[in-house]
Structure 1
Amino acid sequence: MSRAQCPRCLRPQTHCLCELIPQLESRTRVLLLQHPSEVNHALNTARLAALGLTNAELRVGEVFEDLATLLNPPGYRARLLFPGEGAQLITAHAPLGDDLPLLLVVPDGTWRKARKLLHLNPLLAQLPRITLPEGAVSRYRLRKAPGPGALSTLEAIVQALEVLEPATSFAPLLRPFEALIEGQIEAMGADTYLKNHGRPQDL
């Protein structure tokens, strides 16, 4: 028999994260496009981001029929948070004059799945791209990163927002993420964690 699930955070009721999820306002609007393979992932960080930001929306799918509408909300200019040719380093966005806030479009999935989303949705691939500064260290201690600077979706959003809106701290978004990781490390036991993933200082 399956365990009762929280309908909001999709975690088992016994491990619900909702009390740790903040409600943060942002000038930047965040649109998360999640590959279906990520929905039931134990560390569904895109959902945590969407729940923690009042100006965010999460869509799940491979092909988004209403993408033209999603990418053009009145009063915003869309940018794709994804590395690639021509991607510009993200910089602080000054809210002056007619300077429109960003619609930050974030594909969520493995690198392979995220590239598939771009391939299946040409409008997405055509967006101007922005990328994060190099050197960020992920707190995702249960995964071997594919390369230096590889972050979870939630960590990438937090870093992007803190560059775009430096007067606001978005660190509270990471609280449920860190609790989730701590819970999984505790469940597997310190010896198993150290053998497969970590270093003693990570415990």
Structure 2
Amino acid sequence: MSRLVCPACHRPLALCLCALVPRLDSRTRVLILQHPSEVRHALNTARLAALGLLNAELRVGEVFEDLPALLNQPGYRACLLFPGEGALPLPQFADQAAGQQTLLVVPDGTWRKARKLLHCNPLLAALPRVSLEPGLQSRYRLRKAPQAGALSTIEAIVSALETLEAPAQFAALLKPFEALIEGQIAAMGEQTYQRNHLNPADR
């Protein structure tokens, strides 16, 4: 017998996070392109981000046929949140886009899946790339970051918005994310968490 699932946050009804999800407005429009492999992941932070932001949209797929329309939003200049060679720091991009709001395109998936989204959608690969400030630390205690400064999707979006729209704060978006992590830790048991996810120095 399958468990009843919340249609909004996709969590089991007994673990629904919707009461913690804010409804935050932003000048920046956020377009999250999620690889299908992430949809049923227990730690689907992209959905939480899309639920909590009024000016955000979540699309799922590998090839996005309507990408030209999604990217060509009047009054917005699109950029791809993806680190690497040639990526501009977000403040520098914002300065260059003076007079226009930012359309922040965020691929959601493992690094390999995110690169596949770029490969399958040449328009994405052609966008100017932007990066977050270096040295950020993830609160994602259930995954080992593949590289220094790697954040979950929702953390990356919060950091980007707080950079683009300072002094506005978007930390409320992380409340359901943190509750999600605490719930996963409780489900696995504290001993299992400490054994498998903590560094020896932190135990």
The residue aligned with 1:18 is: 18
In structure 2, distance between residues paired with 1:54 and 1:201? 41
Partner of 2:28: 28
Structure 1 segment 117-132 matched on structure 2, within 5 A? 117-132=117-132
Matched, 1:49 2:38: no
- For residues 73 and 176 of structure 2, the distance between their equivalents in structure 1, rounded to whole angstroms, comes to 29
Alignment partners' CA distance in 1, 2:62 and 2:157: 21
SS at match of 1:10: coil
**3-state DSSP of counterpart to 1:91:** helix
Which residue of structure 2 aligns with residue 100 of structure 1? 100
What are the within-5 Å matches in structure 2 for residues 176-191 of structure 1? Answer: 176-191=176-191
Residue in 2 aligned with 1:158?
A: 158
Deviation at 1:20, TM superposition (A): 0.3
- Structure 1 distance, partners of 2:29, 2:192, is 40
Which residue number corresponds to residue 136 of structure 1? Answer: 136
SS of equivalent residue, structure 2 residue 91: coil
Q: TM-score with structure 2 length normalisation?
A: 0.95
Whichever structure has more helix as a proportion of its residues is: 2
State the TM-score, normalizing by the size of structure 1: 0.95
Following superposition, which runs of at least 4 residues in structure 1 exceed 3 angstroms of deviation?
199-203
Aligned residues: 201
Aligned-residue sequence identity (percent) comes to 71
Give 1:158's aligned amino acid.
Answer: V
Give 2:67's aligned amino acid: L
**Structure 1: runs of 5 or more not aligned:** none
Residue 41 of structure 1: CA displacement?
0.4
Instruction: Report the equivalent of 1:196.
Output: 196
The gaps in structure 2 that reach 5 residues or longer are none
Partner in structure 1 of residue 37 of structure 2: 37
